[in-house]
Structure 1
Amino acid sequence: MDDLTTLTTTKACTVRLLKKLQDNIELARMKIKPSKSRSISIVKGKLSDQRFLIGDEPIPTVSEKPVKSLGRWYDASLDSSDPFVAQAAPILATGRKWTPLEATKQAKAALKHRDIVGRVQHGRSGLGAGASTPAWNKATPFQRRKLVVQEVRQQEEAARCAKAVSQAKQGQWMTWEGVEKRKISWQELWEMEAFKASFTIRAAYDVLPSPKNLSQWYGEDPTCSLCPTPATLKHILVGCKTGLTQGRYTWRHNQVLQCLAAVMESRRMSVNALPPPSRRPATTFVREGGGQATLTTTRPETGQLGGARDWKMLADLGQKLRFPAEIATSNLRPDLVLWSASLKQVYIVELTVPWESAVEEAYERKKLRYADLAADAQQRGWKAKVCPVEVGCRGFVATSTSRLLREMGVRGKAHR
């Protein structure tokens, strides 16, 4: 026997194994020839350029020098042209409810059916918008593997959503319209305190030990400790009238408003500190045969605030907010007012911390409330925009809040 194959899980194990093999073979008065050896390293399913040595001489990789063994060539390609090798699928140990063989069969059938149907446009972006995916019959083996993985994930997500719809309590999050998907990275989850992660997950599925749930589970008294109403999670977070009169919800609202105001104030100060905006006229283009010019502009990183350097802001924190008299006369107290006298532009921001399923209702209610104030400001020559924003009582942010931050030019970590 003069051929030997080793397989390890880490680079350190490979280095130690090669060292021991070299020592043992030298004791037997034999020698390993690195020039006739080959190495291949795969990290997370992709080839990696890892180097190994026998003594001081490096071992060539199969990418550099393919090798032939038992009548078959081995190179950097992970695909095999041999039909027997290609069809020899590994046996995977799985559970009883899900098998990869059945899942891949369904995914391939769905992809072939998609080729027959053709490309279908989703959303309001228009025909042809979005990234194009290769057709199954024209895709390469690598693209087919990627398509199958994506299709399996989509089918599993669809099955999970279908199950959640049938659950009256744990599936309530399916009725949350206008709420951003909350993406928690592994790093954030690792750094998050255990009780905070537990509260976030159990609150989303309404399985916290509220008096109503404890009554259902163990037969305890479901009455609220502040009022005679059954204390469900919704009642505790947004529906207790006694808690409202005691200022509990107002305190929570002000804590969220304080964070939002800090981000907006930081953005306002950074924009005001920039050099004056350029007044150079924009380039206009006229299409052939058309008489109307098309104005082409680029969106600056400063967002909608980039047109002026005299932005001012008031927040309804600490003391009672008075709406600026130069804009309009009103007794209403929005949570934030951001305006520029040079542009005669004002943003009226109103924050609500509702139950997540009532986000859309809160948005429409607040927008209607300040519609007359915006109309009065417009009659005085101001460009007024009412911006209701919502942050759910369980910490889920509404799309209106993200839209406002993007419009103000807030990016990156501050936006998250």
Structure 2
Amino acid sequence: MGCTISQILFVMAMEVILKAAEGSAGPANLGGGCSMPPLKAFMDDTNVICSKEDETRRMLTRLDVLMSWGRMDFKPMKCRSLSIRKGKVDEATTFTVAEQQIPTVSQEPVKSLGRWYDSSMKDTRRGAETLELASESLLAINKCGLQGKFKIWCLQFMLIPKLLWPLLVYDICSSTVEAIEAKINKYTRKWLGVPPGLSDVAMYWRKAKLKLPMKSILEEYKCGKARLLTMLEESDDPVVKTVQPSLKTGRKWKVTEAVDEAKECLKMKEVIGQTQTDRKGLGSTTAKWWSKTEGKEKRDMIIDQIRNKEDSTRVQKAVQQPQQGQWTNWDTAIQRSLTWNDICTWRL
């Protein structure tokens, strides 16, 4: 039947309990004149962040008393503790709640919001794990009894969103994402029934003569990292503004350089002004200017600029191909965009 308690009432009750427990410990000092509140919660998930061990124990004791007053109980086996002293994980320090010991992340790693937390506090193994997950998932889709067009649908709407989340929450380099895309392209050509030598330009370029409704996981990875960086830079949270967490994407492609380049291109476009596009007349299209936008519109402009940069890279690759790139000179050919309804009617 599920829980019949109203979510709004439950959140209000949890807020009352957390407000009553905040006075048991002071804010955690992060340095640079910035501090973090000792309690952060979302629904029934609560994080206790303290600078001292005795404050943490006092906070847990206070929370246990308040929860028992509200006729609720903690489940210590679903909780995890992590103690850091002088930049290193301290496995000797343990905490208790509801008269039971809380397991440490060294003893039992925990997964929260799709991200694993363990004693290493590093993401070095996550890239290989994501690559292995992609290989196993592609093999499972290939072995199913569906037709090729439905396998592509499963890839685009089920597997790629599943892979994008760990690629964005972990610090995974872009070369690993390129290896994943190479595996995806191999199976995509097989399911489409096209020659194995078909370039990925024909599958993902948005201005191709025959545009397919498929998205590149490498392009989505770059756009997702750029969106995350711009959101962190424009955050109103004083803690995020002070700390400014860095995003590591490897040496081949750096998100900070890509975002800065996109901003400079947008500013240069504003200096040049509106120009004629293709064979359309001057003033037939509207343009957004960088100085007159803010918030989400600026982020969208940066993402569009990064996508245009990826398209320009594909154009350069197509021009270098003597045979597959011949269609770039077809000025009289009409561009056609296929939809998923068109693909479903194919006999693959």
Q: What TM-score, normalized by structure 1, do the two folds share?
A: 0.27
Q: What TM-score, normalized by structure 2, do the two folds share?
A: 0.32
